[in-house]
Amino acid sequence: MKIIQLTDTHLLPPGATVHGVDPEVHLRAAVADILEKHGDPHLLVITGDLCNDGDPEAYALLREILSPFTCDIRLLLGNHDARPAFTAAFPEQPRDENGFIQSHLDTPFGRLLFLDSHGAGIIGGIYDTQRLAWLDDALGNAGEKPVTVFVHHPPVHSGIAHFENIEMHDDGLLLQRLATHPAGIRHIVFGHIHVPLAGTSATGIAYSSGQACSHKFVTDIDAPDPFWTAGNPCYRIIQLDENGFRAYAAEVGETRTARAGPCAGP
């Protein structure tokens, strides 16, 4: 199963920029590259911060940019999003009985969970009792299937100084709930931190972040005030199959210096 992950697209109304980057230009370039090279994905997931200020005009632009995709699409909310404007623009996106943008999808390789960590006016993530109740049901109904989780805010400590106070504000409850699933958590996929990160929790759960498609941080884990950079538009190709979980980082516009020949081995 091929899943494309985009994250932190931070769209604004056309022509606007953020930290020296035009998010529309970056997202259009990434989408064009995905459609050219991966026109057959089973699923596209954007893990939050879809729009920078939650503007209805920006959500309408997002809908237009994503319109060429024929695969299933799951859009998650991040701290920069606005729930009312999002739900007005994307009424077809599944949500739970309390209106949170949460859903699950069963595949031959386990259950995928899409979680809502958005809290209005809060930079860090929220995963409260209502959302935990939904998660308990989703895990309970997964049976013997391993679970892969998609969410905006990392439910683990990133170790990045800039994000020390704006990660998941749940006292570790989300990660604790996930750790109880008998069939195991295959991987947690998130965004929010704008830089690539991969690791394993203290209880052995693997996780990784996609790199922001829009503006990015220069990776400086000890700086509370790191520099922004434009970088290249980017996305990840996630393969979920009988060999497990793999995620490949892709950038658009890299300089090509030479072409490698085939390796015959051994």
Closest-CA residue to 235 (of 31, 17, 71, 69): 31
Q: Is residue 260 part of a domain?
A: no
| Number of compact structural domains in the chain | 1
Could you give the CA distance from residue 18 to residue 265 in angstroms, rounded to a whole number?
47
User: Is the pLDDT reported for residue 85 higher than 90?
Assistant: yes
- What is the pLDDT at residue 185? 97
Angle CA 168–151–2, to nearest 5:
155
Please check the confidence at residue 61 and state whether its pLDDT lies above 90. Answer: yes
Nearest to 248 by CA among 262, 258, 238, 260: 238
- Mean pLDDT computed over 189-193: 98
Residue 185 lies in a domain: yes
Q: Is residue 264 assigned to a domain?
A: no
Q: Is 57 exposed, middle or buried (0-12, 13-18, 19+ CB in 10 A)?
A: middle
Question: Phi/psi at 258 (nearest 5 deg)?
Answer: -170, 165
Output the six-digit token pair for 23. 């998010």
Residue 143 has pLDDT above 90, yes or no: no
Q: Kindly state whether residue 47 falls inside one of the protein's structural domains.
A: yes
Q: In the predicted model, is pLDDT for residue 227 greater than 90?
A: yes
Which residue is associated with the tokens 């939050």? Answer: 48
Residue 256 lies in a domain: no
What average pLDDT score do residues 92-121 get? 97
Question: Residue 160 pLDDT > 90, yes or no?
Answer: yes
Q: With respect to residue 62, please indicate whether it lies within any of the assigned structural domains.
A: yes
Q: Is the peptide bond before 266 cis (omega within 30 degrees of 0)?
A: yes
pLDDT category of residue 237 using cuts at 50, 70 and 90: very high
What's the pLDDT tens digit per position in 27-60? 999 999 999 999 889 999 999 999 999 999 999 9
d(CA 206, CA 254): 29
Q: What is the pLDDT of residues 240-258, one digit of tens each?
A: 999 999 999 999 999 999 9
CA distance 25 to 7: 15
Mean pLDDT of the chain: 97
Q: How far is CA 167 from CA 78, 79, 152, 184, 237, in A?
A: 11, 10, 10, 23, 25
Domain holding 205, by residue range, is: 2-251
Residue in the structure block whose two tokens are 């959302």: 131
The pLDDT of residue 40: 87
**What are the two backbone dihedrals, phi and then psi, of residue 68, each rounded to the nearest 5 degrees?**
-70, -15
Place of tokens 């394993």: 200
29 domain-assigned: yes
- For residue 246, the domain's CATH number is 3.60.21.10
Six-digit token string for 246 = 């793999």
**Burial level of 229, CB count in 10 A (0-12/13-18/19+)?**
middle
What is d(CA 48, CA 31) in angstroms, rounded to the nearest whole number? 16
This prediction's pTM: 0.97
Would you say residue 34 lies in a domain? yes
Identify the pLDDT of residue 74.
Answer: 98
